[in-house]
Chains A and B, each alone.
Chain A
Amino acid sequence: MTDRSTSPPRPIPAAAHPTTAHASPGIGGWAREYAADLHRFLSKRRFIESDIKDVCQEVYLRLLRFERTEVIQNPMAYLFRVAANVAHDFRLRQAQWTPLEAEQLEEPATEPGPEQLLDIEYRNRRLAEMLATLPPLSRAALVLQSQEELTYEEIAARLGVTRRVVKRAIARGYALAREALAQDGVI
């Protein structure tokens, strides 16, 4: 464990493995571990865009503070951990500045509160609406990938297109989804 004065408040794991047991190799595992934290911050309220930018700017600055040799060991672990830290700090700071939102501070509970359930519901509704607007190929590819956890080769076979087309469709899907949802303050 490195200890530098520039480190974020919560430690960054030196090991390249998440604490949760599953062995998902890719981003899924890392993201799953921290997504709740991020969401609790990023979508708790309909976020104004500048807040998200401020958070990401801070994540970025903190990433810069680490030695490159450390970050490249496991960039995603750093990214999600730092983002969760920043989201946490930012929430505290916001709560101090705006007493009106103090009730939104609550505790960093793992159980979603009623308010959070509403947020999840809202988010899911927006996601479904967003899916409806996607080009058919992108929509099908994204859904097969995320819901049925198919590989892109399997998706290609299922849809009767080339892998290449699947890749493009998914890329397009992500780009469009992010654009649509970010506009609504869902992410």
Chain B
Amino acid sequence: MNLGKKETPSNASEWLAEAANKELAASQKAALADWLRESPTHVREFLQMTLVQQDLGNLKISAEQIESWVNEAKSASQEPTRITSVLEPTGRRENTPSGNDGFAVALRSRRPRVWLAAACLVVALLGAGFVRWEEGRYSTGFGEQRIVTLADGSVIEINTDSALQVRFSKHERAINLIKGEAFFRVAHDASRPFVVSAGEANVKAVGTQFNVRMGGDSTLVSVIEGTVEVRDETPAVRAAGSAADDEPAVRVTSGEEASITLARPSNSNKRLAVAKMTRPSPQRAASWTRGRVEFEDTPLGDVLSEFQRYRNVNVVIDDESARQLKLTGSFDAHDPDSALAYIATLPGLRVEEVDAHTYRIVRVDRAQPPPP
């Protein structure tokens, strides 16, 4: 019998059924082991379905109830249009006559305790939405950072207060950055592009390292290594259909940054504006992955809000000119105290401790009336 490619289980429910049906052949065991070792998602789905299966067996259901469900199913299967027909895979033996085939096979493979035999799933449910290698949602809390290794070997470092969703399919490795910031080290796989969507921008990479940071009204893409393509995915552009493919994607290469903003936020035909710039030190964008925050001529106000992403510290600056003071330096992201100590050494500034979490920065070179 020719076992086509289709007959190798490709998702958790198929594997579960296959394994539960009978002792697996050696080659199937190897395939199952490899499949499990492919992704934590496979492990999770397989375990979860096993638990469902166990629980269903332990559930107390009356014979009458079962009988009524059987009858319901019988009448449902008589209906001309069946939802299951959507799942019909293109392949051989589409029209197996029901009675004979089923009976003959039953006799051949009957076994004493094959309580799960019915779940022998050799039909790939391609296109049915079940072959979805969803890796799930990852998030970090305030001040937390997390490193996630994906099934393909790509690594995502997730910065503080961020969330992202990973969804792998055969054709695409899709990441949706929901909020915050993440650094991506992408494993090379030309057949499955790695696409990060952030708001309505798509960042497509094949094998590269880049950082994506979502801010209030702009998203910053910084490329450390390789090249990515930034694409506009606003409804207006997408509605243009295939024209969107002709839309030149903005290529951002190593050492470059792209700032993405909504061009006309109030208009329903909004589009993205992508501004490219070159960074003297491309590594800077990824400095947070080493627990550092680095600044280059950054206004003091921005420096402080950066620290506030990591720790519950509140710094008040009363003076606008102090807020605009430019700072350059590298600090421990989780140690705002050292940054404040540094700021206190700057001429003309004084740092006052208001309480455990609140500091005030005041200018001392002017006659500044003490705030109330």
B115 adjacent to A28 (CB under 8 Å): yes
Chain A positions 125-168 with a Cβ under 8 Å from a chain B Cβ: 127-128, 135-137, 139-168
Chain B residues 233-270 with CB under 8 Å of chain A are none
Q: How far is the CB of B29 from chain A (nearest CB, A)?
A: 5
Chain A residues lying within 8 Å of B130, measured Cβ to Cβ, are 171-172, 175
- B326 near A: Cβ within 8 Å? no
The verdict on B20 contacting chain A, using a C-beta distance below 8 Å, is yes
Cβ–Cβ contact B13 & A73, under 8 A: no
CB contact between B83 and one of A64, A135, A182 (< 8 Å): that residue: A135
When C-beta atoms are compared, the residue in chain A nearest to B52 turns out to be A177
Q: How far is the CB of B178 from chain A (nearest CB, A)?
A: 14
For window 4-59 of A, CB contacts with B under 8 Å fall at: 22-28, 31-32, 35, 38-39, 42-43, 49-50, 52-53, 56-57, 59
Measured CB to CB, the closest approach of chain B to A18, in angstroms, equals 13
Closest Cβ of chain B to A187, distance in Å, is 5
Are B37 and A139 in contact (CB-based, < 8 A)? no
> B2-31 toward A: CB 8 Å interface, digit per residue (1/0)?
000000000111101101111100100110
**A58 vs B361: C-alpha distance when bound (angstroms):** 46
Q: A174 to B40, Cβ gap below 8 A?
A: no
Given contacts A137-B76, A174-B49, contact A60 B109 (CB under 8 A): no
Asked, given contacts A141-B73, A147-B59, whether A174 binds B30 with beta carbons under 8 Å apart, the answer is no
Out of A27, A148, A168, name the residue touching B87 (CB < 8 Å): A168
Q: Given contacts A26-B21, A72-B33, A146-B115, are A159 and B56 in contact (CB under 8 A)?
A: no
Q: Which residues of B pack against A, CB within 8 Å? A: 11-14, 16-17, 19-23, 26, 29-30, 32-34, 36-37, 39-61, 66, 69-70, 72-77, 83-84, 87, 96-99, 101-103, 105-106, 109-123, 125, 128, 130, 136-139
21 contacts between A and B (CB under 8 A): A24-B113, A28-B20, A28-B115, A31-B51, A53-B138, A68-B34, A71-B37, A75-B36, A79-B46, A127-B52, A136-B76, A139-B73, A140-B72, A144-B66, A146-B59, A150-B118, A151-B106, A162-B96, A170-B118, A171-B17, A175-B125
